[in-house]
Amino acid sequence: TARILSAREVCGDLYDFLSYGTQQLGVALGDVSGKGSAAALYGAVATGILRSLSPRKLQPSELLRQLNQLVCDRRVDGRYMTICFATWQKGRRMLRVANAGQSQPLLWKDGRVEQINLTGFPIGIFDDATYEEWNVRLSTGDILVFYSDGITEASNRDGKFFGAGRLKDLLESNTQLNSAELADRMLEEVQEFTQGGAITDDRTLVVMKVK
């Protein structure tokens, strides 16, 4: 389940689902530096490149490496993108994740929430960047949450950020919800925290729950 709340008419955040055949799915969530139409255009180019790579069925670290090279070839001065990419192999129940400077995803597994500790250079800065990959076998009921910093950096009237800690707590106390309900609940909580303030940065979520 994916949700996006845009701060402007055009959005600098992106998410995409890449079909790797019947047994495998690629999931991306990214955030382009800057705002407005230039960021949205950069995001559209990156999404186009992602989709052009999808027939190769690349695993996350190699996909990010190739995406970075192709984006660097079309270098746009002063712009870059953070992105987290994962593949889910249904038959083997195997999740693989790599990260290029995006917020670290949350994983609910074995009765607790952890942050998947992966960093990596954003896309579009260093031509020869390489990326680490992490994998885990998941079980029914496990939950993965990708989110943009528009969620954790949403602030209230006192200037306090919502923060990753609140997002973790929210996941921990709502694991019985399905993915759509959980995504909606998270966005509602963020909106409540900001006391109805304007959305200053795009808020994007992808929630996956293993059946």
The pLDDT value recorded for residue 9 is 45
Using only C-alpha atoms, the chain has a radius of gyration, in whole angstroms, of: 17
Q: Distance between CA atoms of 195 and 23, rounded to whole angstroms?
A: 43
Question: Does residue 200 surpass a pLDDT of 70?
Answer: no
Q: 3-state DSSP: the chain helix, strand, coil percent, rounded to 5?
A: 30, 30, 40
Tens of pLDDT, residue by residue over 110-133, are 999 999 999 999 999 999 999 999
The pLDDT value recorded for residue 6 is 57
Buried b (16+ CB within 10 A) or exposed e, 113-137: beebebebbbbbbeeebebebbeee
What is the average per-residue pLDDT within 187-208? 83
The pLDDT value recorded for residue 159 is 87
Question: Does residue 33 surpass a pLDDT of 60?
Answer: yes
Query: In which band, very low, low, confident or very high, does the pLDDT at 63 lie, cut at 50, 70 and 90?
Result: very high
pLDDT above 90: percentage of residues in the chain: 71
Q: Distance between CA atoms of 34 and 31, rounded to whole angstroms?
A: 9
